[in-house]
Structure 1
Amino acid sequence: MKDLARLRTLIKEPVELVLNQQIQMELVSSSKYLAMAGWCDRNGYDYSAGFFYKQSEEERKHAMKIFHYLCDQGGTAYTPEVPAVPQEFDTLRSVFENVLDQEIAVTDSINRVIGVCRREGDYATEELMKWYVKEQVEEEYIARRCLELIDQIPADQIYYLDKKLASVTYDQNPFENE
């Protein structure tokens, strides 16, 4: 029989709690992006819809990465409730305002996780979360850049931005070489 002392969790309770909160945050983001994709589809922004469908899936992967990590470290990962999210937006600009607000909230949440990791001396989890910090810099930049472009593009040419979003990939920023 295995030594039960060796099966103990490697995650301290405060870290487990904030990681479960982060899982929920990532899944709420996924749900919001899915709602934005639907709105874009209904309103003729086909490329933006594709961008938001990809973003929704990416956020789900972020949640699953933390979920698996928690399980692998002997912690308990909970399947969170995801509250209803808005389905309607006034304009494409309001969609991206919501994106930026959500990404800032995610960044704040990730920073909170790292703060707890440091307080608890959990260097392994802090190392995991560094990947999320880098990811958030890119996510916020893209949202801000889209808002800047929306403000610069005449209303009758807003589909330029829509088309530009078709080139977004997880490893390349479409606005890097502008």
Structure 2
Amino acid sequence: MNKAMEAALNEQIKLELHSAYTYLGMAAYCESTNLPGMAHWLELQAKEELEHAMKIYGHVNDRGGRVALKAIPEPVLDYASPLAVFEAVLAHEQKVTASIHKLYALAVEEKDYASLPLLQWFIEEQVEEESSADEVLQKIRLAGDSKSALLFLDSQLGSRE
């Protein structure tokens, strides 16, 4: 693995870990506003992001690279509403998607063919991640100002496995 790919993959590890931290911050906000189902959904999302970080971590190590963990920024802990939380979720997933696309382009440019299957998996995963975030966001928008609709949605999100 060349140094350009190693550095870029280390940045992606940082972004995936930051994603987990971000989703935990969002979950904490939801818990504090008595929306345990949304908190549960976000906690599971955080666990997925940790798995993503470890997938890249393993790839770098398997390829003889050096993992260099970097500082993770503190997450936002306060939001204006559940709508604001899930708008931020979707925006964050779009940021991650853009980062994965840049990594894929770099792998092609650097002829790092061994990283392409991993990055293709992430590209497909990001389609699912964005779709899932957008689905929740659209449901929150449909709920509008209805507290009963929001509580029903919260209950549904709490059943995520």
RMSD: 1.0
The two structures have a TM-score, normalised by structure 1, of 0.86
Deviation >6 Å, runs of 4+? none
1:40 aligned to which of 30, 41, 51: 30
Paired-residue identity, %: 35
What does residue 159 of structure 2 align with? Answer: 167
Separation in structure 2 between the aligned mates of residue 144 and residue 111 of structure 1, nearest angstrom: 19
Whether 1:146 and 2:136 are equivalent positions in the alignment is yes
**1:61 CA drift (Å):** 1.1
Aligned to 2:126, what secondary structure does the other structure show? helix
Which residue, out of 88, 91, 94, partners 2:84?
94
Taking structure 2 as the reference length, the TM-score comes to 0.95
Per-residue CA shift, 1:19-45, capped at 9, x if unaligned? 011001101100000001111111111
Please list the CA deviations of residues 70-117 of structure 1 after superposition, one character each: whole Å capped at 9, or x if unmatched: 011100111121011110111000000110110000000000100000
Matches within 5 A, 1:1-178: 11-154=1-144, 155-156=146-147, 157-169=149-161
Q: CA deviation at 1:148?
A: 1.1
SS at 1:123's partner residue?
coil
Deviates more, 1:160-169 or 1:60-69: 160-169
Indicate the larger mover: 153-162 or 20-29: 153-162
1:144 CA displacement: 1.1
Q: Measure how far apart 1:122 and its partner are.
A: 1.0
The amino acid of 1:158's aligned partner reads L
Mark the runs of 5 or more structure 1 residues left unpaired by the alignment: 1-10, 170-178
Could you tell me how far apart the structure 2 residues matched to 1:167 and 1:43 are? 18
Aligned residue pair count: 159
CA distance in 1, matches of 2:74, 2:40: 21
SS at match of 1:167: coil
- The answer for unaligned runs of 5 or more in structure 2 is none
- Report deviation, 1:129: 0.9
Higher relative contact order (CA 8 A, sep 6+): 2
Mark the structure with the bigger radius of gyration. Answer: 1
In 1, Cα distance between equivalents of 2:112 and 2:160: 34
Separation in 1, partners of 2:128, 2:160: 11
Amino acid at match of 2:52: H
Structure 1 residue 120 displacement after superposition? 0.8
Q: Deviations over 1:50-82 (max 9, x none)?
A: 111111111011101101110111001111210
